[in-house]
């Protein structure tokens, strides 16, 4: 019995088709844990819909996926001198975000990242005069701009791209291809209309693979159910049960990513209030699990174990049965399933 990722394959692929139609020239992104599906599966899907390129996070990912995808591989992490050399084929394109990076990749295929309002990494406007000479020693595939997801200052993403296009053009740098992240389809159309000689290629991961939430579902199998009465002790720490009910052992523990959560940016009073409430409950060992039974998310009876979780289901709910599956609301990018089932 397992933690299973069920995929409505027809619906999932229909969503891919919709995204591909809205973003011609898309660069599908396959990084980390492959957005919950695994690198091999996403490489197969990218091949299936005819992509000529696949973006990966690191050189190590490129080395693993090169035998699964025959097109170009774009490594998103910028090159740094002194990094561990990883044997890669010539179809791998490296990102660079500094003049030193360009000088360190003589003869290589490169995409040059410029500094956006993200302020994460990128070549600065001050570097552009020296960049003109430096690119003569590399095979330039284009420039890239990684934009923020939210613009709380009311600024316009398209205007930010236009600003960089103007700077690059003023520095007499080639503008045949611009790779962009986090632009909407209509914003991409505006840019393509304004710069018809430049090919804009959207790097998309989350929206492509995870944009249709109804196409995928995690479920954990019930492995054991034990009836308990108020006051009974249980588990590693021998805590007391707060009321009558059942201890339910379900597939899915810390090795799967259950109980792990990335920090979230909270906006507004209500999300902040909920965050405070959750933190307060955690101090008295009350932690909501991702598993759903009888229409409600159920509480962890104790912190999840390595491969299973123990939940408490009160007596006013139906008794779960061994072999049944509980829907689990899990984050794809932090979850490792036991098996994937297409249906």
The per-residue b/e assignment along 233-258, b for 16 or more CB within 10 angstroms, e otherwise, is ebeeeeeebeeebbbbbbbbbeebbb
CATH number of the structural domain spanning residue 247: 2.40.37.10
Tens digit of pLDDT per residue, the chain (343 long)? Answer: 899 999 999 999 999 999 999 999 999 999 999 999 999 999 999 999 999 999 999 999 999 999 999 999 999 999 999 999 999 999 999 999 999 999 999 999 999 999 999 999 999 999 999 998 999 999 999 999 999 999 988 899 999 999 999 999 999 999 999 999 999 999 999 999 999 999 999 999 999 999 999 999 999 999 999 999 999 999 998 999 999 999 999 999 999 999 876 555 545 555 544 443 343 333 335 689 999 999 999 999 999 999 999 999 999 999 999 999 999 999 999 999 999 999 9
Does 178 lie in the same domain as 35?
yes
**CA dihedral sign, ordered 202, 203, 206, 208:** positive
* Confidence at residue 325, expressed as pLDDT on a 0 to 100 scale: 98
Of 210, 230, 258, the position where a domain reaches its end is: 210
* Cβ count near 172 (within 10 Å): 10
Does 237 lie in the same domain as 181?
no
Residue 295 and residue 317: Cα distance in Å, rounded?
Answer: 10
Does 21 lie in the same domain as 111?
yes
* Confidence at residue 306, expressed as pLDDT on a 0 to 100 scale: 96
Residue 50 and residue 88: Cα distance in Å, rounded?
Answer: 22
* Confidence at residue 219, expressed as pLDDT on a 0 to 100 scale: 98
Q: Taking the mean position of all CA atoms in its chain, how far away is CA 6?
A: 18
Residue 27 and residue 111: Cα distance in Å, rounded?
Answer: 13
Does 130 lie in the same domain as 232?
no
Does 155 lie in the same domain as 274?
no
Phi then psi dihedrals of residue 327, to 5 deg: -60, 140
204 near 217, Cβ under 8 Å? Answer: no
* Confidence at residue 278, expressed as pLDDT on a 0 to 100 scale: 43
Give the chain's domain count: 2
Helix (H, G, I), strand (E, B) or coil at 179: strand
Q: Which two tokens stand for residue 69?
A: 């995808």
* Confidence at residue 247, expressed as pLDDT on a 0 to 100 scale: 98
Of 158, 175, 210, the position where a domain reaches its end is: 210
Does 150 lie in the same domain as 32?
yes
Does 228 lie in the same domain as 133?
no
Domain, as residue range, for 226: 216-342
Q: Is residue 2 part of a domain?
A: no
Residue 274 and residue 278: Cα distance in Å, rounded?
Answer: 6
Does 242 lie in the same domain as 324?
yes
Does 184 lie in the same domain as 170?
yes
* Confidence at residue 266, expressed as pLDDT on a 0 to 100 scale: 47
Does 125 lie in the same domain as 22?
yes
Does 235 lie in the same domain as 179?
no
Phi then psi dihedrals of residue 125, to 5 deg: -60, -35
Of 210, 241, 257, the position where a domain reaches its end is: 210
Q: Which two tokens stand for residue 77?
A: 């992490």
Does 191 lie in the same domain as 79?
yes
Phi then psi dihedrals of residue 4, to 5 deg: -115, 135
Q: Is residue 1 part of a domain?
A: no
240 near 232, Cβ under 8 Å? Answer: yes
Residue-level length of the chain: 343
Helix (H, G, I), strand (E, B) or coil at 195: coil
Q: Which two tokens stand for residue 3?
A: 């933690």
């Amino acid at each position: 019995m397992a933690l299973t990722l069920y995929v409505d394959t027809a619906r999932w692929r229909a969503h891919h088709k919709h995204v591909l139609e809205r973003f011609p020239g898309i660069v599908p992104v396959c990084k980390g844990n492959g957005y919950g599906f695994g690198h091999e599966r996403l490489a197969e899907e990218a091949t299936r819909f005819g992509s000529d390129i696949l973006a990966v996070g690191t050189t190590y990912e490129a080395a693993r996926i090169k035998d699964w995808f025959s097109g170009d591989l774009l490594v998103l992490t910028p090159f740094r001198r002194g990094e561990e050399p990883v044997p890669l084929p010539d179809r791998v394109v490296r990102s660079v975000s500094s003049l030193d990076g360009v000088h360190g990749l003589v003869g290589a295929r490169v995409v040059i990242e410029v500094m956006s309002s993200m302020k994460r990494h990128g070549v600065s406007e001050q570097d552009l005069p020296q960049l003109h000479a430096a690119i003569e020693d590399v095979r330039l595939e284009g420039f890239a701009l990684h934009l923020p997801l939210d613009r709380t200052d009311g600024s316009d993403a398209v205007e930010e791209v236009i600003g960089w296009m103007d700077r690059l053009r003023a520095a007499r740098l080639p503008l045949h291809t611009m790779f962009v992240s986090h632009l909407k389809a209509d914003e991409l159309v505006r840019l393509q209309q304004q710069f018809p000689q430049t090919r804009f290629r959207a790097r998309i991961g989350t929206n492509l693979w995870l944009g249709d939430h109804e196409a995928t579902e995690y479920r954990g199998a019930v492995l054991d159910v034990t009836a308990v009465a108020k006051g009974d002790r249980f588990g590693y720490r021998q805590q007391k049960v707060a009321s009558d009910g059942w201890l339910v052992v379900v597939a899915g523990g810390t090795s799967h990513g259950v109980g792990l959560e990335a920090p979230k940016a909270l906006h507004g009073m209500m999300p902040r209030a909920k965050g405070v409430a959750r933190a307060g409950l955690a101090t008295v060992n009350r932690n909501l699990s991702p598993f759903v039974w009888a229409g409600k998310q159920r509480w962890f009876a104790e912190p999840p174990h390595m491969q299973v979780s123990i939940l408490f289901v009160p007596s006013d709910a139906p008794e779960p049965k061994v072999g049944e599956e509980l829907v689990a609301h899990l984050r794809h990018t932090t979850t490792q399933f036991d098996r994937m089932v297409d249906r």
